[in-house]
Amino acid sequence: MANITITDKNNNVESFSLEKLTISLFELTYLIGEPNIELCEKISKSVFEKIEQKKQASLSKEELEEYIKEILLEKNKNLHEIYVTRHKKKDTQTQHIIKEKMFVSFLNLETGFDNPFNLKQRFSENPKLTDQIIEYIKTGVFYPSTNILTNHKTNLIFSSQTIRLSDCLEDIFDSLLVKSKCEKKKVPSAINLDNIRSKEALVSSTKKKACGIKNIIDFYILAQEKITDRKQKNAQNTFYINIEHPDAIDVVKNKTSKNNNFVFLIPDRFMHNLLENKVYYLKKEGAKTIETTKEEAEQTITPSLYLDFLFSKIIDENYFDFVFVDKLKNKNVFLDKTNELSSIGYQPVFENDSFFTGIIDVSKFVRTTGALKTFKWKELKEVIFNSVKFLDACIDHSEYLDESLEKNVKKTRRLYLSITGYFSLLDLLDVPFESDDALVFGENLSEFVSYYSKKASIELAKEKRPFLDYTKTKYIDNDVFEYSKGVQKTLFSEINKAKKLLTTKLLVDWTELKNNQRKFGIRNSTTYSVIFSDIYSIANNTTNTINPPENHKFVKIANENYSFLEGTPREKINNQHLIKLQNVFEKFCDGICNVNLFYEKTNQVIEDMKKDFIQTYKTNNLCYLPKMISKEDVFTIDDDSFKKSL
């Protein structure tokens, strides 16, 4: 055999080895389910003969790869496809530059990744933890929330402000003042309108009809747009009301702005009547409605027809979400407080309360050894512990809009550590997304993050102390951490891949955790949920939360900033599978698991939406987030034209 040398891009030289190439190809045959050492030997010899025909004593690594691909295309197309996929060039340095430029543009980072938002100065009392968090940001393993990054100058780094309007003129204007402060400081806000009287109700002091919810929404939106002129789509305006409110249908019919989020709270009563296909009767009492007799009723609700109308509006304008409010009560560990919704992922909080959040990209925890792929559970545990420590420190480093908000936040010390990139993770592990393997592994992954985030919080409580309102919660009676594992598997399903990935999973012992919580308490009333993370997912070139992939179109605008438009999913995913996946993740969350269900505009779409809506409720999921698929042509950050624009 002639001596042939191969030179890589760094000018390193090595001898061509038939044995090495054969072993490399043999590993790939496992990925296509056809291990065949004889075939690999033949292909390797053909590659060598091809080089000899060209009379090349020396060639580059790129030339060798082209010869290999040419022979594979002749001998085995499946093997050719997997080889091309595995050997696709990845310019990691370019990816890093793109990511950093995007962050600088989107989030106004002045120092880039070397010291994002002056982290070292702001958290100087713990330099080791600070350096670790900066390294996580550089590598894309963990990101603090957008607020922590964008509000680095004002230091208002809590997630959002929640406002529950009272039905009086003074409170409406006082709340507008609070909301205006939020707007000025770029803090998202959510407004509960459930206490506002219907437009048909009489105001006793004036003997005239009340203004109603629609006029209050218009008033708040107009104040924002006229004064701040900030009309871009974001989470900074979230309005929510009970679907049975007398003015709910008025809001749907006459929605003013598409730049805001509207959420309907769905009570069990509505769902029970929907499932039984019943008409039920409601009597108006101010802002509330109560079930009553036909003779006493002032309005009737046919849930099925009501949903038809709502879904038709979603098809046209794509702006309503739904939360099953009675189910959400089970997530509340406090004994004397009622949950409100945050504008960030609709996570449960209290009135005039907030939380802190950050995102772990789980697709960064894959270890590849030849053809063997494993999940790095130990490394994930370390990131969870450091992330919880950092987010808890943020509570004490943040400034607040007023003393009342600061007091409330420190009473609960609420965190929602989140994850993203689950689809990308499965893709790297060669696990089909629509499989029971994905469900079983997802359930265990969610349990792992929940368990170790709480374990980290208990260790913090041992070192410092539990949150201030600890004695007013279920934690006192140890009535927590009760989770039922076990996914509903398909008949004759195989979960062998999940089983293999779980063999190296670290110990999860809820009994031990309960015992430690009884001894030391817990530092944070909540620790984990799954929240949308659009910017981070795009910058990391990974998928969002547990969602299937979406393409993204980037638009370079005049002031050197970058914006993006969401496009179509790369492939159609069965919504029934997504509902199951949401369930296995959400059972371990302290809040709502964010996942979109996608729809195309067809004659059947309303019936499909209604079926998924009912199935979501029956599966005990907390929210239904429908989204219509856009038809735009899109491209990702891998696209050459986007790279050149930088």
Question: Domain boundary residue among 582, 598, 614?
Answer: 598
Residues 217 and 249 in one domain: yes
Question: Domain boundary residue among 309, 328, 347?
Answer: 328
pLDDT tens digits along 311-339 = 888 887 767 899 999 999 989 999 888 88
Residues 221 and 307 in one domain: yes
What pLDDT score was predicted for residue 233?
A: 41
Residues 76 and 213 in one domain: no
Residues 183 and 144 in one domain: no
Residues 407 and 363 in one domain: yes
What pLDDT score was predicted for residue 4?
A: 83
pLDDT tens digits along 26-42 = 767 755 666 788 888 88
If you average pLDDT over every residue of the chain, what do you get? 82
Residues 127 and 173 in one domain: no
Residues 147 and 178 in one domain: no
Let me know if residue 527 belongs to a domain.
yes
Distance separating alpha carbons of residues 348 and 529, to the nearest angstrom? 10
pLDDT tens digits along 411-448 = 999 999 999 999 999 999 999 999 999 999 999 999 99
Structure tokens at 164: 């529950």
* Confidence at 11, pLDDT banded by 50, 70, 90: confident
Residues 462 and 528 in one domain: yes
What is the span of the domain harbouring residue 82? 5-86
Q: List the single range of 191-195, 221-225, 451-455, 638-642 with lowest mean pLDDT.
A: 638-642
- CATH of residue 527's domain is 3.20.70.20
Residues 43 and 81 in one domain: yes
Question: Domain boundary residue among 63, 86, 109?
Answer: 86
Let me know if residue 384 belongs to a domain.
yes
Distance separating alpha carbons of residues 119 and 368, to the nearest angstrom? 33
Residue with tokens 């790279």: 643
pLDDT tens digits along 361-416 = 999 999 987 778 899 999 999 999 999 999 999 999 888 888 999 999 999 999 99
Burial class (CB in 10 A: 0-12, 13-18, 19+), 299: middle
219-221-224 Cα angle (round to 5) = 110
Under a CB-based contact definition with an 8 Å cutoff, are residues 340 and 353 in contact? yes
Residues 293 and 363 in one domain: no
Question: H helices within 32-91, ranges in order?
Answer: 37-53, 61-75, 77-86
Distance separating alpha carbons of residues 561 and 632, to the nearest angstrom? 21
Let me know if residue 468 belongs to a domain.
yes
Number of domains in the chain: 3
Residues 248 and 195 in one domain: yes
Under a CB-based contact definition with an 8 Å cutoff, are residues 528 and 417 in contact? yes
Across the range 588-600, mean pLDDT stands at 93
Let me know if residue 37 belongs to a domain.
yes
3-state secondary structure (DSSP) of residue 547: coil
Residues 300 and 360 in one domain: no
